[in-house]
Chains A and B, each alone.
Chain A
Amino acid sequence: ETGVTQTPRHLVMGMTNKKSLKCEQHLGHNAMYWYKQSAKKPLELMFVYSLEERVENNSVPSRFSPECPNSSHLFLHLHTLQPEDSALYLCASSRTPGEKLFFGSGTQLSVL
């Protein structure tokens, strides 16, 4: 039990679909993150939220839209994705930005 719950575990979607990934942390942390992990590549930071405010956006395409309604919940809204967006998407949290991360179990996304 990592304290970070992420759903769904697996997602297959077409390029015209709209879907959302959900993340919830039960650790009382103030920072939450979305990472992308493609095969044979290091983890890529997508978004960072600190106390519900976005503090970093690493030039992520607008077809990925994050939402952080409170410090315990984080969403990643997906629309009109491309096949190259297929990857493992990981949510994480930390006590404050830059501290050690605790990850959710990830969503394995396949875009057809």
Chain B
Amino acid sequence: RKEVEQDPGPFNVPEGATVAFNCTYSNSASQSFFWYRQDCRKEPKLLMSVYSSGNEDGRFTAQLNRASQYISLLIRDSKLSDSATYLCVVSRTSGSARQLTFGSGTQLTVLP
């Protein structure tokens, strides 16, 4: 089983739609969680951290369910510019170091 699993998509949605992505992680000792977005042929950029209480940033809402070991990202009122690949990232301690593990990403295309 992969340490971080995401539905690869693609998700094709019309402008204005609400879309949700889920991500599951296998290691219960995971400590920090992030969503990154990556545009085609560009570097990943931090979208938002995910906090235990859930957090919102404009049209984006992230939630964490530690009991079920998944995190989610909800995008409301989708814009064309939201088209990208969304990467789930999980941080945990391995030995004496903390390390980040990336999911394979979920591809989103917002259609006019």
Mark A residues whose CB is within 8 Å of B. 2, 40-43, 45, 48, 50, 55-56, 88, 90, 96-106, 108
Contact = CB atoms under 8 A, between A and B. Distances in A.
Secondary structure of the B contact surface, majority rule? strand
A42 B103 contact: yes
B102 A100 contact: no
B41 A102 contact: no
B46 to A, nearest CB: 6
Given A98-B98, A105-B43, A108-B41, 20 more contacts: A42-B105, A43-B87, A45-B99, A48-B99, A56-B97, A90-B44, A97-B97, A98-B92, A98-B93, A98-B100, A99-B32, A99-B91, A100-B32, A100-B34, A101-B89, A101-B100, A102-B46, A104-B43, A105-B42, A106-B42
Interface residues of B, number: 23
Nearest to B31: A98
B22 interface: no
Contacts of B98: 96-99
Contacts of A50: 97
B46 A98 contact: no
A62 to B, nearest CB: 22
Given A55-B97, A98-B32, A98-B91, A41 B43 contact: no
Interface of B: 4, 32, 34, 41-46, 49, 87, 89, 91-93, 97-100, 102-105
B105 A101 contact: no
A2 B46 CA distance: 10
A102 to B, nearest CB: 7
A106 B44 CA distance: 10
Nearest to A94: B100
B99 A98 contact: yes
5 contacts: A42-B104, A42-B105, A43-B87, A45-B100, A96-B98
